[in-house]
Amino acid sequence: MSAVVCEQDTADTVRLPLLRGDGQRAVAFDADGATTLQTFLGHVHGVAALLPDAPYALNLCEDRYRFLVAFCAVALRGQTTLLPPARTRGAIEDVRARHPHSYCIGDRDDCGCDGVYDAADAPTPPHYVRLPDQLPRRPGGVPMLAADALVAIGFTSGSTGVPAANPKTWRALHTGTLQNLAALADLHGEATLPVVATVPPQHMYGMEMSVLLPMLGDVSVHGARPFFPGDIAAALRDAPRPPLLVTTPVHLRTLVESGVALPPLAAIATATAPLAQSLAAAAEARFGCEVRELFGSTETCIVARRRTALECAWTPFPGVRMQPVPDGTLVDAPHLPEARMLADLVELDGAGRFVLCGRQADMIEIAGKRASLADLTRRLLAIPGVRDGVICQAGETDAHGVRRLTALVVADAALDDAAVLDALRQAVDPVFLPRRLRRVEALPRNETGKLPRAALDALLAVDPA
């Protein structure tokens, strides 16, 4: 059944608009100026007419504006957008295998998925819709969607195992987006808030902060996904007023260390991985704005925030309740149809704020002592000269049957292994010192800075010789 609700639908059908705001408000911008909601709506109706009849579409667009158009066009057709955990051949084939009656939509001849389809051999595979360079336009009003319409399925990153599917109804995304807009209202008042994002729109964090915001609020988003510091600075300069930079700790560290000057910012938002307090403080001092760290997941979407440079505890959004349980935390929120279980362990204070204590699967016990791998990694990353790293348990065990700790380190040449271990020795209990320290050129992080478990295991299996 189509998710698009017409006037003939029954009176008890709950309908919610796909877009909100005046037709002349800016939805997107770039170096050439702004795109209005009216123009955007014409593109949505035009692209919707190009789409095949199918229940699912994988949105692989790299241009954020085109992703936004394609997402709304798919919803207009009553279809569900699939958000693969990565745009690699394996990730896309896995998602399509789970949803065989699906097609891909993108803005490149090669399908935008790491060369899965060579344009010279198969420029138009049968399940791939390539958006035209000049987007078509058709007249049409703002669609009203059934609140229970399944508009998206997000997949976890696979950092703890096999990516899991998480269905999202329009009611859930609509309610969560209004919550996010309220949390950002102090940044822009009555003016439109420009957003520049370094995260891909296929990731749930990128989806929430750079796709859904301009659909339902007075927010406009830059069409690009800048990666290098110079490109990020250039995109920020395209904004008509100080923008919100939506990024990750990995990108933020690179920006701070690059020396590239950024224009005035409304704020910086970061998520996908823990943000070190020292990095948050350095970014605030360097760029003269607040750094807001957001807490969420593909399962729950964004549910809490903190100003990491000044505080350790997280403040849940209004209506969000965190309930610690033995294996993790139950999260209840207005936008969730039911409470969702997270693997994160938390401690609550009397005001309802919480502190993260790691994950149950992340906890290790050696010689009767317990520690968190995430906390050990945080202490590794705090060592001056360590640019990236992770402490994990390798497959081999010692004489007592304990899986050995291994540190994978990306560090300055001037910092030798002995200095890294000496610094760790001062920060952690000796029983948790890595028995093996291995230098690597880079960690196999994905587009959002996460370390997929399979990629990490593959790196650990490689003989460094």
- Cα-based torsion angle of the residue sequence 27, 29, 32, 36 in order, rounded to the nearest 10 degrees: 10
Q: Say what the pLDDT of residue 122 is.
A: 41
Least confident span in 174-183, 276-285, 419-428: 419-428
Q: 335: how many CB neighbours lie within 10 A of its CB?
A: 23
Spatial distance between the Cα atoms of 425 and 414, rounded to a whole number of angstroms: 19
What are the strands of the beta sheet with 244-247, ordered from one edge? 33-36, 26-30, 219-222, 193-197, 244-247, 267-270, 291-297, 301-306, 315-316
Q: Say what the pLDDT of residue 103 is.
A: 94
First CA to last CA distance, the chain: 58
Q: Say what the pLDDT of residue 250 is.
A: 87
Confidence of residue 376 (pLDDT cuts 50, 70, 90): confident
Summary mean pLDDT of the chain: 87
* Environment class of 31 (CB within 10 Å of its CB; exposed 0-12, middle 13-18, buried 19+): exposed
Q: How would you write 53-111 as a 3-class SS string?
A: CCCEEEECCCCHHHHHHHHHHHHHCCCEEEECCCCCHHHHHHHHHHCCCEEEEECCCCC
Confidence of residue 179 (pLDDT cuts 50, 70, 90): very high
Q: Say what the pLDDT of residue 399 is.
A: 53
Q: What is the pLDDT of residues 186-234, one digit of tens each?
A: 998 889 999 999 999 999 999 999 999 999 999 999 999 999 999 999 9
Tell whether pTM > 0.75.
yes
CB 303 within 8 A of CB 333: yes
Distance (Å) of CA 13 to CA 142, 316, 335 = 17, 31, 18
Q: What domains lie within the chain, and their CATH numbers?
A: 15-311 (3.40.50.12780), 367-461 (3.30.300.30)
Q: What is the DSSP string of 241-287?
A: SPPEEEE-HHHHHHHHHH-------SEEEE-SSPPPHHHHHHHHHHH
Q: 438: how many CB neighbours lie within 10 A of its CB?
A: 16
Two structure tokens written together for 317: 């959004």
Q: What is the DSSP string of 4-60?
A: B--TTS-TT--EEES--S-TTSEEEEETTEEEEHHHHHHHHHHHHTT--S-SEEEE-
Confidence of residue 317 (pLDDT cuts 50, 70, 90): very high
